[in-house]
Amino acid sequence: MTRKRKYLIGIGVVLILAVVVGVSLRKSRAGIVEVQAGKVMRQDLASVVTASGEIRPRRYVNINSQSFGKIVAIEVAEGDRVRKGHVLLRMESIQPAAEVEAQKALVRSAEAAVEAAQANQRTTQAELARARADFDRAKIEWERAQQLLRERLIPQSEFDARKAGFESAQAAVDLASARVRQAEAEFDRSRSQLQQANAMLTRLQDVLQKTIYTSPIDGIVTNLPVHVGEQMVPGIQNSPGSFLMTVADMTDVTAEVKVDETDIVNVRLRQPAEVNVDAYPNRTFKGTVTEIGTTAILRSTGQSTAQLTTGTQEAKDFKVVVTLSDPPDSVRPGLSTTARITTATREKVLSIPIQALTIRRKADIEAAEAASKGEKVEAADRLAANPGKKEELQGVFVIEGGRAKFRPVKTGITGVTDIEIVEGLQENVEIVTGSYRVLRELKHLARIEKEKQRSPSPPGPE
């Protein structure tokens, strides 16, 4: 046998051995799943709810038209600071002012009528007093005449004269009393007319006053969409009047955000929050939850569900107001914001990455246990025999002896990337943390192998 032939035979044997070894290694690694691993560790966790919205002042007033008329003067500009009572806008007031002057004249006339009626009342009362005095004197004379007539000291004619005088005095008293009552009624009527005239004057003055719009609060004019010469109309029934402007008190600034219905149950009053305003990209503002809405709002339309007559499966949000503790002076209503509300905090608690948490059916776990013992019981057969095995368990895969063992756990609060473990795991236990595709398909008691960490690439030449 030549040397060349021996050399070729040796190479062939080596190739055959390499193929055999490769096939053996592949068979030995069949069914092994490559996973990412991590350990249960203790750390501080904070549960955060994130929601978006916009900046709003806590106190603001939308000023609408209260009367018909044309704008004749605007005394402020958008962005001006105003004090309470400061004149903002004037509307045409020729007709209301004329009506006020005419009514003032009627009031003066009614006041004069009251004074005349009061003087007449005093006159009639004086006449009544004089008539009563005459009556008293006539009564005394008549009684004396009766006594003298019985004693036959006066003639019958004188007696008759005194009797007639008495009866005349009595009639005069009755007439004076009637005139007093008439004067009192006239006085009451004139006073009522004066009150009516004053009430009408108050109404007309109110109409005139409504042509001059003043600021109801201290604040900033944040919206001024109208111009001089435009015609305004007041509100009618459920229709609001023409919008004039908005005055907002920017000393108390809030972020009004919409929280998803799945997170609202964790939000409480006075919880701390961090607010980012898009207009201030490098700043974070501290805040506190000061108001939580109780009515759901449709995400697509912003309409309250209380206004709906039928149910809906559409996604809903709830309004949450976060009051900023240090708003900048230049902040403006309507700026877009993102609020992160801290709903719970835990110190030094057991935690795992959120992606390590998975769900498996109880029947699948028991089927894998049975298969490991050599039993041939399928998960489908177990489900058919006992529907209760459809129960789903929440847990993680623990790495033990080169296998992934599913272990149920109870969880607590959820942080940004980690979740609290309340029951089921101990510190430093090694668990499967990824990848997502592997965790989705990984089975209980599957053989696994941890991924090798890639060494960092050496830096390139500068």
Separation of alpha carbons 350 and 425, rounded Å: 8
Per-residue confidence (pLDDT) for residue 131, from 0 to 100: 85
For residue 149, pLDDT beyond 60: yes
What's the token pair of residue 317?
A: 């949000």
Give the pLDDT band of residue 3 (cuts 50, 70, 90): low
| Residue among 38, 36, 40, 39 nearest 442 (CA) | 36
pLDDT digits (tens, 9 = 90+) for 377-406: 555 455 445 555 568 899 999 999 888 999
CATH assignment, 33-46+350-450: 2.40.420.20
* In the chain, domain spans: 33-46+350-450, 50-58+253-345, 95-209
> Are the CB atoms for 339 and 287 separated by under 8 Å?
yes
CATH assignment, 50-58+253-345: 2.40.30.170
What's the token pair of residue 131?
A: 């008539």
Average pLDDT score over residue span 324-344: 90
Average pLDDT score over residue span 215-234: 91
For residue 27, pLDDT beyond 50: no
Average pLDDT score over residue span 130-153: 81
3 state DSSP class of 415: coil
What is the chain's mean pLDDT, rounded?
A: 85
Average pLDDT score over residue span 142-160: 79
Average pLDDT score over residue span 134-147: 82
- Give 239's DSSP letter: B
Average pLDDT score over residue span 112-130: 90
Long-range CB contact pairs, 159-164, < 8 A, 24+: 162/138
Contacts of 260 (CB under 8 A, 6+ apart): 51, 315, 317
Please tell us whether the domain made up of 95-209 is placed in CATH 1.10.287.470: yes
| Residue among 421, 418, 399 nearest 35 (CA) | 399
